[in-house]
């Protein structure tokens, strides 16, 4: 009886090993590769004005309200200076500064903050966390108008995926 349990346990262990080897993570990117073009090289445009920033926040709030999510939403200039901010009723207080940080990172690095999250979580590129003023959490989206970056929107207070959905809703208002 004990031997059959042991045999079953060994068989189960081999199945787990086989399943684990079939799900090996992808190899990390080659950091020595030299791209032909600069990634994330969207040119800077004039800074977003207060009226457009408020409109982007209104679009984000409309989507968050529709879903019943209370969030913090920040819009910054290309240099990362705060242009507009809204804390929805009952939004998490700790996320006030995080929303601004996400927007500032997206603006200064000209890329969604999900890129940093993926670099750390999926590719194991932990050196990303040593860069100045980076937040490796989704929810920061550059605002592009006429092919130029005019600022960024950052959302915080929910899960990363919730924050990203709402940031995209606000960013979609800018064309």
The domain limits of the chain are: 50-171
- Longest distance between any two alpha carbons in the chain, whole Å: 77
Cα distances (angstroms) measured from residue 169 to each of 27, 33, 150, 163, 164: 33, 34, 16, 10, 9
Q: Which residue has the tokens 């108008």?
A: 145
Q: Which residues pair with 159 in a beta bridge?
A: none
Cβ 125 vs Cβ 156: under 8 Å: no
Q: Is 121 exposed, middle or buried (0-12, 13-18, 19+ CB in 10 A)?
A: middle
Which pLDDT score, from 0 to 100, does residue 53 have?
98
Strand ranges for 9-97 from DSSP E: 72-76, 82-87
Which pLDDT score, from 0 to 100, does residue 11 have?
47
Q: Which residues of the chain have pLDDT under 70?
A: 1-26, 28
Which pLDDT score, from 0 to 100, does residue 9 have?
44
Which pLDDT score, from 0 to 100, does residue 10 have?
43
Cβ 149 vs Cβ 78: under 8 Å: yes
Q: Which residue has the tokens 């600022």?
A: 151
pLDDT in tens, 62-105: 999 999 999 999 999 999 999 999 999 999 999 999 999 999 99
Cβ 142 vs Cβ 152: under 8 Å: yes
Alpha carbons 14 and 155: distance in angstroms, whole number:
45
Which pLDDT score, from 0 to 100, does residue 30 have?
81
* CATH hierarchy code of domain 50-171: 3.30.450.150
């Amino acid at each position: 009886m004990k031997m059959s349990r042991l045999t079953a346990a060994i068989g189960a262990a081999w199945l787990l090993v086989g399943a684990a080897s079939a799900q090996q993570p992808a190899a990390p990117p080659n950091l020595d590769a030299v791209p032909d073009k600069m990634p994330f090289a969207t040119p800077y445009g004039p800074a977003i004005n207060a009226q457009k920033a408020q409109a982007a926040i209104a679009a984000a709030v409309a989507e968050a309200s529709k879903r019943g999510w209370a969030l913090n939403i920040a819009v910054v200039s290309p240099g990362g200076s705060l242009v507009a901010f809204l804390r929805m009723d009952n939004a998490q207080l700790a996320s006030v500064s995080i929303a601004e940080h996400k927007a500032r990172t997206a603006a200064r690095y000209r890329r969604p903050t999900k890129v940093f999250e993926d670099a750390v979580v999926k590719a194991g590129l932990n050196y990303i966390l040593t860069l100045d003023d980076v937040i490796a959490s989704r929810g920061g989206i550059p605002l592009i108008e006429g092919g130029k970056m005019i600022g960024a929107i950052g959302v915080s207070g929910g899960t990363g995926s919730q924050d990203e959905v709402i940031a995209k809703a606000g960013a979609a208002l800018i064309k």
